[in-house]
């Protein structure tokens, strides 16, 4: 098997594993649009990273965190609903990123690669970031799993029971930001959220415990990555979109399978 | 006198420049059931949130017994339908709870049959009992119940209040609860606090139920409750502000809003 395919497979699989539990939390907490907004802001982060000559992964993480802070501040200061704010921020940051990139005429970048991913171009340096970042987020998710669940079920109850709710929510935002920075290379900023929520949504119908849904989502993500890469290899389709199409196919299939009796 | 658990004095809270609490006070001791009653917008939930430490008052002093263990039963619980959570798993979100402890708590509140049911599939009355069981699993010194009988039918309500009384006897904890149902709550309470931004009157249910301030707040409902005497030195206008010179009687035709 070609080296670039091995790299792509390892990168895709490590992202799929961490996307299972994180995507389940996103689905339970109805944060899909939030994730989407963060990933749009990621392109702005790329532009900033190129401008300031720092690692794009770091720049994207910082941009996502700044956006999350801006969002929380705006939510508290004015009456517009969250989805309106998210819509404003998502498309403004995406446009800001594109405009900023256009100013840097001496920098040649593959815009399509950032928007839709360029999995087959993952090099060994990228691979280190992707595997390391995914592993770090996965470990933190395991450590924080019970408090994250408690906060998802009832924030005030969690607060009365002594959990540091604000810190836990912030931690979740940071984890999402890191995964977006990591996933950008794989599926691109426009498709990242789908990798979080589609496997989780597909696993939901057949899961009986929160952990069952998280693990199920990881496994379905692994299958989607394998199917997508195979499609890309044999049919010469773009890798990132092929993975998302495979995941969507698995989601539809989850409706055909009969639900286990409770 | 039994041990003091919580003491709030002269609590002032404003939301968006609107006063919600103006000089409210509350005292809760171990083994005592304190019920907050009052019209909508009287600040009952705000006072409860202050007791819980979820809200910092703009002014006033809040004292809690050091390391007070609070069991909180929220008004409602909305868990997203996509989260596969059984009642047992919900109870096990409290650290150190295993199946046998969860079962014991559920049995205590009469809801042991739902232990393996999905949380979203049980009835409103069962959910209230499950929430109460979760509060008990904290081995609380103070139980805080925000409208504990919401969504429960009338027979179930009376039973739930009796159960809260039994739990108090067994665990020796103090109880603060918010309620709308005057009739049922009166028999199950040691102290009634009648709230309308500030404490209008408080005391033993028999005392409060014939307080003019209480009767004015609850109108017809109040008259069917037990009678008692105690003088009140003020009334409220439609915005809840205190009107001192005005003396109320049954004919003056206004109530608290």
B chain contacts of residue A159, beta-carbon cutoff 8 Å: 53-54
pLDDT at B250: 46
Among the listed residues A239, A157, A143, A256, the one whose alpha carbon sits nearest the alpha carbon of residue A205? A256
Question: Strands B191-196 and B198-203, how do they pair?
Answer: antiparallel
Rounded to 5 degrees, what are φ and ψ at B69? -90, 115
Give me the number of domains chain A comprises: 1
Interface contact B53-A160, CB threshold 8 A: yes
Contact B54 A212 (CB under 8 A): no
Asked whether residue B10 is domain-assigned, the answer is: no
In a domain, residue A213? The reply is no
Using a 10 angstrom Cβ sphere, with 0-12 exposed, 13-18 middle and 19 or more buried, the burial of residue B222 is buried
Using one digit for the tens of pLDDT, what is the confidence trace for A22-45?
Answer: 999 999 999 999 899 998 988 889
- Of A28, A150, A209, Cβ closest to residue B80: A28
**B240 shares its domain with B179:** yes
Both B210 and B113 in one domain: the answer is no
For the full predicted model, state whether its pTM sits above 0.95: no
SS3 A122: coil
> Does the residue B118 lie in any domain?
yes
Range of the domain at B91: 79-139
B5 found inside a domain: no
Residue A15 in domain? yes
Flag whether pLDDT at B228 surpasses 50.
Answer: no
Residues B131 and B157 in one domain: no
Q: Which of A57-71, B13-27, B67-81, B103-117 has the lowest mean pLDDT?
A: A57-71
Q: Rounded CA gap, A1 and A223, in Å?
A: 19
Are B170 and B252 found together in one domain? Answer: yes
Task: Decide if A100 contacts A48 (C-beta within 8 A).
Answer: yes
Q: Is A153 within 8 Å of B83 when comparing Cβ atoms?
A: yes
Query: Is residue B241 domain-shared with residue B149, that is, in the same domain?
Result: yes
* A58 within domain boundaries: yes
pLDDT band at B231 (very low <50, low <70, confident <90, very high): very low
Give a yes or no: residue B8 inside a domain.
no
Domain's final residue, options B121, B139, B157:
B139
Domain assignment present for residue A9? The answer is: yes
Domains held by chain B: number: 2
**Nearest CA of chain A to the CA of B42: how many Å?**
21
B154 and B133 in a common domain: no
B28 and B148 part of one domain: yes
**Would residue A167 count as lying in a domain?**
yes
| Distance in angstroms (rounded) separating the CA atoms of residues B2 and B249 | 38
- Closest Cα in chain A, distance from residue B228 (Å): 38
> So what's the ipTM on this one?
0.86
Domain harbouring B200, CATH code = 3.40.50.300
What are the tokens at B148?
Answer: 């504990």
B62 with B164, same domain: the answer is: yes
A157 in contact with chain B, both atoms CB, cutoff 8 A = yes
What totals of helices (H) and strands (E) does chain A contain, helices first?
A: 11, 0
Q: Which domain holds residue A139?
A: 3-189
Backbone torsions φ then ψ of B250, nearest 5 degrees: -65, -15
Q: Do B160 and B61 fall within a single domain? A: yes
Q: Taking the CB of residue B149, how many other CB atoms lie within 10 A of it?
A: 24
Indicate whether A47 belongs to any domain: yes
pLDDT surpasses 70 at B240: no
Q: Is residue B125 part of a domain?
A: yes
Residue B67 CB neighbours (<10 A)? 6
Q: Has residue A105 been placed in a domain?
A: yes
pLDDT higher than threshold 70 for residue B249: no
Query: Which of B123, B139, B155 represents a domain boundary (last residue)?
Result: B139
Name the residue of chain A whose CA is nearest to B120's CA.
A153
CB–CB contact A28 B82 (8 Å): yes
CATH number of the structural domain spanning residue A96: 1.10.3470.10
The answer to whether residues B21 and B12 touch, using CB atoms and an 8 Å cutoff, is yes
Cβ-contact A91, A40 below 8 angstroms = yes
Residue B36 and residue B147 in one domain: yes
The closest alpha carbon to B213, from B252, B251, B248, belongs to B248
Q: Is B63 helix (H, G, I), strand (E, B) or coil?
A: strand
Q: Domain boundary residue among B105, B139, B173?
A: B139
In chain B, which residues have their Cβ closer than 8 Å to the Cβ of A149?
93
Same domain, B120 and B159: no
A18 in a domain, yes or no?
A: yes
CA–CA dist A57, A67 (Å, integer)? 15
CB–CB of A156 and B72 under 8 A?
yes
Closest CB to A209: pick one of B74, B89, B138.
B89
Helices assigned H by DSSP within chain B: 44-52, 87-91, 99-108, 124-137, 154-171, 182-187, 205-208, 212-218, 220-223
């Amino acid at each position: 098997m070609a080296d670039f395919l091995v790299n792509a497979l390892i990168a895709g699989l490590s992202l799929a594993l961490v996307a299972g539990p994180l995507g389940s939390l996103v689905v339970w907490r109805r944060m899909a649009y939030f994730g989407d907004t963060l990933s749009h802001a990621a392109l702005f982060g790329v532009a900033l990273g190129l401008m300031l000559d720092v690692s794009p992964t770091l720049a994207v993480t910082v941009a996502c965190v700044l956006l999350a802070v801006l969002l929380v501040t705006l939510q508290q200061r004015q009456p517009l609903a969250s989805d309106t704010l998210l819509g404003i921020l998502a498309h403004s940051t995406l446009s800001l990123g594109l405009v900023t990139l256009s100013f840097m005429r001496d920098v040649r970048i593959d815009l399509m690669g950032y928007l839709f991913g360029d999995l087959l171009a993952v090099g060994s340096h990228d691979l280190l970031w992707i595997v390391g970042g995914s592993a770090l987020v996965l470990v933190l998710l395991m450590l924080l799993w019970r408090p994250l669940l408690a906060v998802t079920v009832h924030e005030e109850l969690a607060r009365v029971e002594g959990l540091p709710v604000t810190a836990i929510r912030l931690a979740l935002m940071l984890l999402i930001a890191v995964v977006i920075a990591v996933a950008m290379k794989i599926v691109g900023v426009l498709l990242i959220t789908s990798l979080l929520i589609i496997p989780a949504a597909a696993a939901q119908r057949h899961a009986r415990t929160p952990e069952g849904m998280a693990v199920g989502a990881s496994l379905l993500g692994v299958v989607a990555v394998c199917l997508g890469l195979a499609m890309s290899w044999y049919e010469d389709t773009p890798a990132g979109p092929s993975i998302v199409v495979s995941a969507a196919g698995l989601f539809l299939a989850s409706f055909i399978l009969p639900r286990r009796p409770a | 006198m039994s041990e003091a658990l919580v003491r709030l004095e002269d609590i002032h809270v404003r939301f968006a420049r609107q006063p919600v609490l103006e000089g409210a006070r509350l005292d809760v001791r171990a083994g005592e059931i304190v019920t907050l009653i009052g019209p909508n917008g009287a600040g009952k939930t705000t006072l409860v949130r202050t007791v819980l430490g979820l809200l910092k008052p703009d002014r006033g002093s809040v004292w809690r017994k050091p390391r007070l263990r609070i069991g909180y039963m929220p008004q409602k619980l909305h868990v997203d339908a996509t989260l596969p959570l059984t009642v047992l798993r919900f109870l096990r979100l409290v650290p150190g709870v295993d199946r046998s402890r969860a079962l014991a708590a559920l049995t205590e509140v009469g809801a042991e049959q739902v232990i393996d049911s999905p949380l979203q599939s049980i009835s409103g009355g069962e959910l209230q009992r499950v929430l109460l069981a979760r509060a008990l699993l904290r081995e609380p010194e103070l139980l805080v119940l925000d409208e504990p009988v919401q969504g429960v039918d009338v027979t179930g309500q009376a039973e739930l209040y009796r159960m809260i009384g039994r739990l108090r006897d067994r665990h020796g904890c103090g109880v603060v609860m918010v309620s709308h149902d005057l009739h049922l709550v009166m028999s199950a309470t040691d102290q009634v606090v009648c709230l309308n931004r500030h404490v209008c009157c408080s005391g033993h249910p028999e005392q409060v139920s014939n307080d003019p301030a209480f009767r004015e707040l609850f109108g017809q409902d109040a008259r069917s409750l037990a009678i008692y005497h105690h003088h009140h030195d003020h009334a409220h206008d439609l915005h809840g502000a205190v009107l001192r010179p005005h003396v109320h009687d049954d004919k003056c035709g206004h109530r608290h809003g």
